Structure 1
């Protein structure tokens, strides 16, 4: 992987915009190159319009293969550590929901995890991070959601399987934190800071965090917005535009009363895509994470939003912000 080190050229020491060919990683770093689709926990949902009649296990190698077939841009997976220090792909702290076994990942050995069978794929076990990255390398970008403090170990795995060009790391950025992309273990890896609503008390504070994270010696491709709404989202969006980086947003279905009140989740997007996906794209998001990547890809194709620069997206007749 090339070292993404560039001269500081913009106000507030924002890194200069690199010029790349249009490969997967290069598209990630170029906010002019259309809307990117992220499959949350890989492509586990059924997609009948694309020939996939049944769901498959989340965070599985089968879900990875479906993502490759659908043509999504990034696959998001969750990483946990076993009792004996191995990194495996599992969202929950316990294996109960997704496998036929029981127990906490942290209390099980790698051998015990690999002996488990996935509920939606009884012929397969939860994959290791190494196996997943090796399978994805050269085919699709992978975003790691680390469920514990093992970024250095995950980076070592990516290097060992020569997948550093195909992995995007991320971590939450607090107010006052230095540019995380410059810190170990991310120096030779793609890294994206996460800006949460609780990261600052004011929209201007959120903007300062964004600009600070974009001011390092290494270019970042995007910032992930976490539960940002209204003025907070707008402040981060404007700061990201100044830094010439992408804005990542999530339309994942929330649970409980939050899910009933949230107007930007996948359930509403499936019914009214213009009001959710279209509105967020019109407001400036150019990376969207969803549990329904096939539906989002179809929507973007219908609206002509794949591969379109921001100016074209802004004039595509999308609904105004509500």
Structure 2
């Protein structure tokens, strides 16, 4: 059913746009667009392009895999969101969960496994699970992911452990400072983080933690985080934000010249705005509506359909 919805949604927008080969852009060009608050919609693939992309002839791929990145690059996705953890022996590996159980053929906590043990596993198809087929894809290290993405796609590194200095050191070693973004949460009392070491070495996003869940404090948090000499390139809106809070947030973000990022995965980030599944039925009514309201970075599990919507609408 998902594939049928995806194909129908994309075809109703523009089959020719979806089938056209993407124009190659350097990662520097993509980052320049991300830094431009008035630029086009930035499509961010959640753990890579793991869902089928039927208009391009692509099947599913394991999340956070070589295949997931290859598909994203071939389709012209702007950014791949991916996850970083630390192995028992201090290596940085690409893994979302605390354990390898869901996504691989193995079991156990990442922090209890050596790199050799992790490398002996195989990733399971798509989002994994015990019923998902094992593939020939393996768990990547951060170094491997950075090398794979070079000159092809930018990365958003979701750092899962207390390893920001190690991650940023790896980014510097790879010469990838201008083709990755990092992020972390901030509160009402947080000092501006983007100018602080080590965050000042990479493009940085912040996620406001809304104390009373009304969203009313977020405009002031954005202003505080934008007050430093080095400014974040984006603000990721928090989980379960009331949609009625969005206009004031957009107004403050636009006045300060910073992009807003929304996760579209399950409909529980901007409440009432819809989910990826809703968008497969009505892309412009869901994704397009948020873009018109002032959101300009969308994290999605359905990047092919989102790209088709963006390109068909002329928001290039």
| TM-score, normalised via structure 2 length | 0.84
User: Aligned residue for 2:251?
Assistant: 238
Q: Which of 220, 226, 232 is 1:220 aligned to?
A: 232
Q: Flag the 1:117–1:57 CA change in 2: closer, same or farther, 3 A.
A: same
**Aligned residue for 1:309?**
none
Q: Does 1:89 align with 2:94?
A: yes
SS for the counterpart of 2:199 is coil
- Cross-structure match for 1:268: 278
CA distance in 2, matches of 1:208, 1:143: 25
Per the alignment, in what secondary structure is the counterpart of residue 80 of structure 1?
strand
Deviations for 1:266-320, whole angstroms, at most 9, x for unmatched residues? 11111121221011111110111100001100111122222xxxxxxxxxxxxxx
Aligned residue runs from structure 1 range 94-105, under 5 A: 94-105=99-110
Q: Mind listing any 5+ residue stretches in structure 1 that lack a counterpart?
A: 1-21, 307-322
Q: Secondary structure at the match of 2:138?
A: coil
- Secondary structure at 2:72 match in 1: helix
**Cα distance in 1 for residues equivalent to 2:273 and 2:237:** 16
Aligned to 1:290: 300
Shift of 1:262: 5.9
Moved over 3 A (4+): 199-204
Give the distance between the partners of 1:32 and 1:186, measured in 2 at CA. Answer: 24
- 1:6-155 → structure 2 map (5 Å cutoff): 23-52=29-58, 54-120=59-125, 122-155=135-168
Cα distance in 1 for residues equivalent to 2:213 and 2:39 = 32
- Distance in structure 2 (CA, Å) of the matches to 1:63 and 1:202: 36
Are 1:200 and 1:206, in contact at CA under 8 Å, matched by a contact in 2?
A: no
- What is the CA RMSD across the aligned residues, in angstroms? 1.9
Matched, 1:299 2:313: no
Distance 2:200 2:292 in 1: 33
Taking the aligned partners of 1:280 and 1:35, their CA distance within structure 2 comes to: 10
Over residues 169-225 of structure 1, what are the superposed CA-to-partner deviations in whole Å (9 max), with x where a residue is unaligned?
1001111111100111112210011124x3456544211100100111013211011
Cα distance, 1:229 vs structure 2: 2.4
| 1:253 to partner: Cα distance | 2.1
Q: Secondary structure at the residue paired with 1:210?
A: helix
Query: Would you say the 8 A contact 2:243–2:273 is kept in 1?
Result: no
User: 1:92 Cα deviation (Å)?
Assistant: 1.1
Superposed, 1:140-179 pairs within 5 Å as 140-179=153-192
Task: Tell me which of 289, 302, 307 is aligned to 1:279.
Answer: 289
C-alpha distance in 2, partners of 1:303/1:201? 33
Gaps of 5+ in 2: 1-27, 126-133
Could you tell me whether the CA contact under 8 Å between 1:36 and 1:288 is conserved in 2?
yes
Tell me the equivalent position of 1:9. none
Cα distance, 1:234 vs structure 2: 2.3
- Sort the Cα spacing of 1:68 and 1:113 in 2 relative to 1 into closer, same or farther, 3 A: same
TM-score when scaled to structure 1?
Answer: 0.83
